[in-house]
Structure formats: structure tokens, C-alpha cells
Amino acid sequence: MLAPRFFDQVRRPALEAETLPAACYSDPAFFETEKKEIFHKVWNFIGHDDQVKAPGDYMAFELVGIPVIVARGRDGKVRAFANTCRHRGCRVITGSGNSRAFKCGYHGWVYGLDGKLQGAPQMEHSHGFDKADYGLFPIRLEQWGRFMYVNFRADAPLLATQLGALVGTLASYNFDDMVLVRRREVEVGCNWKIYLENVMEPYHTPHVHATTLAMKNEDEGATIMSGNSNLLFGEGGDNAPVKLEFGENHACLVGRHVGSRGLLPGEEPLPPIKSLAGRPRDGSIWSYTYPCTTISCQREGMWYVEIQPLAVDRSKLVLGTCFPKETTERPDFEDKVQGYYRRLDITTAEDLVITEEQQAGVSSPFARAGRVCHLEAVAHAFRNWVADKVQPAA
């Protein structure tokens, strides 16, 4: 594992390359390396700030084994902290809710929403003890519109540096105005990369989504995105029905098509986002922000899939659906939005089955790396990103 030439075949040009070695999806030691070299160092997507909408709202969760608290203070600011008491390390709080402060259940230490230690029973007898020195350890939190990211490194570059050109590509969707209308969690028995690579490519669509997404073939762009075209994926540059864009820490699939990819055939769409300009007006953009988030932007709204690694062979999916505030206030919104929920739920259920089957297969001692199809260009770029993070190229 991680011998000098371990990723040589992964790093070849896409149509000459192989996938990641099977052990990258099943070996616990490789998973530990990913946690250390990827998740502990980069900006990690953690959801929409509607999850902590009001002052006092909080949510406690684990990210690759690290307990975290995110809370909105009385000043309206959202902050993140390590969920570990500064006395003996107990988790301070669990779950989510609204509170004036956080009280550790072990010895009663109390922390404010800003992380400052407010109360420490009996500690007045300890020599030189100062509450100002024992607040909750802060974790960096930054936002892209209303989407929240955390980074465990105090010296990490700004979030905007990691996002790069993607901020401009998706600017006209106006993420500041996106309201979280539904959030759903589901666990899947597969490695985090297996699920992300699955949603990065249309190669599987005619087979896994044969009666759903593969039926949307209204024009050339839709046919390509449904995996039903024989054209070389992404060929044609800026004018192609499907354009591929790659950044240092992201990739985009930019599609030009009629109709909505956010709905199954026969469903009626909500009105388009008024601020859209350029390519976003012409179809949809599927963006993948490494390490493990997909942000799917349609003309009418968007959804995200946040993949939380739980173990080498187990992940939690958080699916959030968002629409502009004005759209959510329409009298027909609750009726029409059900079609977007159905599309996401049905296709996710189809993906859950096949990704668990893949996990079972790659866990075999006989599993080997496979070849890359042209429809897997985005997944190929992501695999190279992973390789470079855990073993930088010479």
C-alpha cells in the first residue's frame, strides 16, 4: 500500500488509465490515511445555515471521528467548536436544538454560544485557574452563500481559495438566497469514494436508472447526460451540449438541454431562477467539490449530497434540497416540489443498491483495478486528486 508506483496507472491519461486499486475502497489503513491527509486538512462541507437558523440553535455531529458543535450566537454569527469539554474531555452536548448555553453533563462546566467558559463549579480553589483560558477549542468555519464548511487546520487557506473558479461558475444561482426546504439522511454500506464516483458519471445511468433518468432524451444534451449517446463525453469545448470543467479542487459537468434534470419525465417544473445568466440558463450544472460533496444546480433550484465517511465501508448521505426564497412562497410550491423530492429519492434508492453491490465486489481478495471509460472523465480527475493528497506525485 502506497508504494512509490502505487498510483502509476491511475495517473495516466483517462482513456489509458485504470481506476484506483481495489484496496483504496476496502482497506482500513488506507481509510485512516485519507482521514489524516484529506479530511483533517481541507474545507469540509457540513450543510446549510438554516440548520442553525435562530440564535441559540446548535447541531452536534462527528466528522471523520471528530466531535463538532456548530451554533449560532446571540450576535447572529455561526461558529464551530470541538465538542470536547476543557476539563476532562467529555462531549459537551449531543443532537441538535436551541439552548442559551452548553453544560457538560460530567462536572457541570458551562460554555456560552460563543464557546467561552462561563461556569466551572469548585474550580475557584484551583491555583491560577482562569476561565478565559479554558473555552471550547474553536474550529474554523466559513460560508459560501448559506452553505457552511469547516476546516480543522488553523493555517489553512481561505475557503474561497479551495473553491477557486467554481464560485464564479455558480454565481448566478445566488446561493445567498437559497432556502433549505428539505434535509434527509440515509446510510449506505459503501466507501465514500464509491458513492461519489457513482454520481460523477452517466455511464451507469442506462443500467441503474433505466426506467427513470435514462428516459430523459429530449435533445442531444439530455441524451448525453442520460448516458445514451455514443459521442465522446465532453468533446466540443465551450459549445458542446455537455462541457466538462476542472479545477484544482473541483469538477463540473455543464449541460445544455431542454426540460429539467431535477424531475422525472412527466413532472411539471417550478419557474426558473430569475438571476441566472450564461450557461446556467441553458440547462444544469453538476459540480463536485472535493473531497465529498456534489452540488446539483438546475434552472429552478438545486440540491446537494453531502457524503460523510463513517468507516471504510460505510457512509452517511445528507441530501439537502434548496430553492430561492421567492419560489418557496408560491402558493403551488408545496405541490410542485414533491416532484423534485420524488426524483431525488427514487434515483438515490437505485444508487444505494448498486453502490453496496460494488462495495461487496471490491472487498474481494480477487478485486483488481479496472479501465476508465470516456464517460468517467470526472471520476478519473477525482481519483487523481485523492492520489495526490495521500501520495503527492514525484
The verdict on whether omega for the bond into residue 138 sits within 30 degrees of 0, i.e. cis, is no
pLDDT surpassing 90 at residue 81: yes
pLDDT at 309 over 70: yes
The set of residues, in sequence order, having a beta carbon less than 8 Å from that of 286 and lying 6+ positions away, is: 199, 252, 253, 255, 294, 295, 296, 297
Q: How many separate domains does the chain show?
A: 2
Residues 385 and 254 in one domain: yes
130 and 173 share a domain? no
Nearest to 288 by CA among 174, 163, 192, 373: 163
In a domain, 15, yes or no: no
* Residue 219 pLDDT level (bands cut at 50, 70, 90): confident
Same domain for 247 and 342? Answer: yes
Asked whether residue 306 falls in the same domain as residue 358, the answer is: yes
Is residue 14 one of the residues assigned to a domain?
no
b vs e for 378-394, b when ≥16 Cβ sit within 10 Å of the residue's Cβ? Answer: bbbbbbbbbbebbbeee
Residue 3 lies in a domain: no
What is the value of pTM for the model shown? 0.95
In a domain, 38, yes or no: no
pLDDT at 393 over 80: no
92 found inside a domain: yes
- Return left, alpha or beta for 108; rule: phi > 0 is left, psi -120 to 50 is alpha, else beta: left
Residues 166, 103 share a domain: no
Same domain, 89 and 108: yes
Confidence category of residue 180, pLDDT binned at 50, 70, 90: very high
Report the C-alpha gap between 50 and 54 in whole angstroms.
8
Question: For cell 472487498, what's the residue?
Answer: 363
pLDDT digits (tens, 9 = 90+) for 139-174: 999 999 999 999 999 999 999 999 999 999 999 999
pLDDT in tens, 94-128: 999 999 999 999 999 999 999 999 999 999 999 99
pLDDT confidence of 376, banded at 50, 70, 90? very high
Distance CA 69, CA 85 (A): 11
Same domain for 241 and 193, yes or no, is yes
What's the CATH code of the domain at 267?
A: 3.90.380.10
Last residue of a domain, one of 155, 175, 193: 155
Domain co-membership, 245 together with 336: yes
Which residue, of 155, 183, 216, is where some domain finishes?
155
Whether 298 and 326 map to the same domain: the answer is yes
Q: What is the mean pLDDT of residues 251-277?
A: 94
Give the domain range for residue 240.
160-390
pLDDT digits (tens, 9 = 90+) for 190-211: 999 999 999 999 999 999 999 9
3-state DSSP helix/strand/coil percent for the chain, to nearest 5? 30, 25, 40
331 — phi, psi (to 5°)? -65, -25
Supply 235's cell numbers: 468533446
Specify whether 175 is located in the same domain as 211. yes
Instruction: Report the CATH number at residue 109.
Output: 2.102.10.10
Instruction: Check whether residue 164 and residue 226 sit in a common domain.
Output: yes
